[in-house]
Amino acid sequence: MTESTYTMGYGEEFRQMLDRRSADSHAAHLMPLLKPGMRVLDFGCGPGTITVGLAQAVDPGEVHGIDIEESQINLARAAAEAGGHHNATFHVGDVTDLPFDDNSFDAAHCHAVLMHVPDTLGTLSEVKRVLKPGGIISSRECIVDSSFLEPSTENTAEEWATFANLLRANGGHPQMGKELKQKLIEAGFSDITATASFDIFSAPADVAFLHAFIGDWFFSKDVIAAATNHGIATQEQFDLWRAEHDEWKDHAGAVGALAFGEAVAVKPRS
Ligand SMILES: C[S@@+](CC[C@H](N)C(=O)[O-])C[C@H]1O[C@@H](n2cnc3c(N)ncnc32)[C@H](O)[C@@H]1O
């Protein structure tokens, strides 16, 4: 059976990646649908950088963020406190067993969560349970196969495949961004709108950030140990990729992109 482990971990380098996110930039597909007074769930909210923007959009309504990891909930509470978002409440809990009543939310949002949770339909059906009839679900998830680093070498595709295989070995779904529409149909949602977008890293500071992030995360001892233990890649491959990665940063044409698919759908009224 596939082991369920959260691939990204909770290190400082990934926290900095999440710090770059906001509701306006990373939930742009949902924001026009939010209205003051709504009650919104952000499941798998992480450190709350998106959640606080959702809270601002529905004020004086309320937002509940939930995440399985207490350290993330502590960061989210601090972010809400610092921004004066008193309508945001955070909970430690599992998205497959939500501590909320049936039919109690107007909208449910997640960003980069379904790609990590093994039981997609179990999660979607639990979220559907807590949504009111006519309530909205919104998700934005990675498409690893469509993400890129350019200029690339003949080895770059192997690096992306290693990331995808690691997500799979941990019970995740590396292409979830392009599977969302089908999964939402299977879970019984209707009125589905699917879109796609990139998080792009092109300005020198953004290329430097992405280079450092990949260096600190993908080439960390923990990720290399996980990949080699699963038999996904060898230490020698990581050493070669690392050298090429350092050359990539200094290339005038360096650009990187994480591809995402988004979908918004409705819980049918009957
Ligand atoms: C990639 S992070 C995304 C955080 C945030 N949504 C964002 O995009 O900034 C994924 C989050 O999902 C959480 N998570 C993973 N599995 C979960 C589960 N079964 N229940 C609740 N949270 C979960 C992780 O703890 C992590 O904080």
Confidence of residue 119 (pLDDT cuts 50, 70, 90): very high
Tell me how far the alpha carbon of residue 67 lies from the centroid of ligand 1, in angstroms. Answer: 6
pLDDT digits (tens, 9 = 90+) for 231-270: 999 999 999 999 999 999 999 999 999 999 999 999 999 8
The whole-angstrom separation of Cα 199 and Cα 66 is 24
Residue 148 lies in a domain: yes
Atom of ligand 1 at shortest range from CA of 45: 6
* pLDDT attached to residue 256: 98
Ligand 1 centroid – CA 229 distance (Å): 24
Q: Is residue 230 part of a domain?
A: yes
CATH number at residue 74: 3.40.50.150
Average pLDDT over residues 50-78: 98
Ligand 1: does its nearest atom lie under 6 Å from the Cβ of 8?
Answer: yes
Whether 80 lines ligand 1, by a CB cut-off of 6 Å, is no
**75 domain-assigned:** yes
What phi and psi, each to the nearest 5 degrees, are found at residue 72? -70, -40
Asked if pLDDT for residue 2 goes beyond 50, the answer is no
Contact, 170 vs 3, CB < 8 A?
yes
Whether the per-residue pLDDT at 178 is higher than 60: the answer is yes
Comparing 5-14, 103-112, 253-262, the range with the smallest average pLDDT is 5-14
pLDDT greater than 80 at residue 1:
no
Q: Is residue 67 part of a domain?
A: yes
Mean pLDDT computed over 103-120: 98
pLDDT score of 4: 63
User: pTM above 0.95?
Assistant: yes
Is 3 within the bounds of a domain? no
pLDDT over 70 for what percent of the chain?
99
- Ligand 1 pocket, 111 CB below 6 A? yes
Report yes or no on 138 lying in a domain: yes
Tokens 């977008």 locate to 197
Decide if pLDDT at 159 tops 90: yes
Ligand 1 probe mutation, 3, 64, 67, 96, most atoms within 8 A of CB: 67
Whether the per-residue pLDDT at 109 is higher than 80: the answer is yes
pLDDT for 5:
86
The reported pLDDT for the residue numbered 171 is 97
Q: Is residue 84 situated within a structural domain?
A: yes
pLDDT tens for residues 18-48? Answer: 999 999 999 999 999 999 999 999 999 999 9
Q: Is residue 158 part of a domain?
A: yes
Domain interval for residue 224? 12-266
User: Is a pLDDT exceeding 70 seen at residue 194?
Assistant: yes
The Å distance, Cα 37 to ligand 1 centre, comes to 25
Total domain count for the chain? 1
